[in-house]
Structure 1
């Protein structure tokens, strides 16, 4: 008489499933907290490009134009016109910016993201 062993079971155990649920949950939490800061950065970059292309030549004009743009774009909270760095390269106005965004993940843990950009 020949003894046949039962088929080997395959799949994820309960502990494995819980582990992956926690990992995916943490990644989703980080993504949900970081995406608003990315959206703000893209809005700031767009506003800076618009201000640089408007044709203002003095630093106060450029900063005032950015502050007007900030009033239109409600998502810009991290910087203001006074934070902009205005330079001139080859007779072209270049507006640049840099700021840090702090994202609170949970009570003692924060994620710091350094954003910087310049007009095209």
Structure 2
């Protein structure tokens, strides 16, 4: 009978150590997420820009014009990782295709980085 009383009075829940560990992991996950947002935002801008530039190419613009147009739009959207020279521009089936592959390093702490490997393309629109 006493054993039943002792078990009911025993506290349940998360210990302080468990709470600190979960809090630390959550803080680290938030740090990674906040540091990754600019890289992903830049990739989305690159994807949007190359689609617009490819449409210009389909209307008769030259390759030099397309690279220049990309650089101008990239300057406006603050794209710093890639330039017009890094674009692969070719025609496939009479349609201008633009592809870009690039890496972006995001510093986490000290010499620890997240490495993003991006591939932007106008194929499959």
Secondary structure of the residue that 2:6 maps to in structure 1?
coil
User: Cα RMSD between the aligned structures?
Assistant: 1.2
TM normalised by structure 2 equals 0.88
> How many correspondences in the alignment?
118
Secondary structure of the residue that 1:116 maps to in structure 2?
strand
TM normalised by structure 1 equals 0.92
Match for residue 80 of structure 2?
77
Aligned mates of 1:96, 1:58 — CA distance in 2: 16
Describe the superposition over 1:52-99 as per-residue Cα deviations: whole angstroms up to 9, x where unpaired: 01224421111011112122212x110010010001110000011010
Q: Is the 8 A contact 1:48 1:118 kept in 2?
A: yes
Secondary structure of the residue that 1:5 maps to in structure 2?
helix
Q: Which structure 2 residues correspond to residues 36-75 of structure 1 after superposition, within 5 A?
A: 36-54=38-56, 55-74=59-78
Going by fraction, where is helix more abundant, 1 or 2?
2
Q: Which structure 2 residues correspond to residues 1-120 of structure 1 after superposition, within 5 A?
A: 2-3=1-2, 4-7=5-8, 8-54=10-56, 55-74=59-78, 76-119=79-122, 120=125
Q: List structure 1 runs of 4+ shifted beyond 4 angstroms.
A: none
Aligned mates of 2:60, 2:22 — CA distance in 1: 53
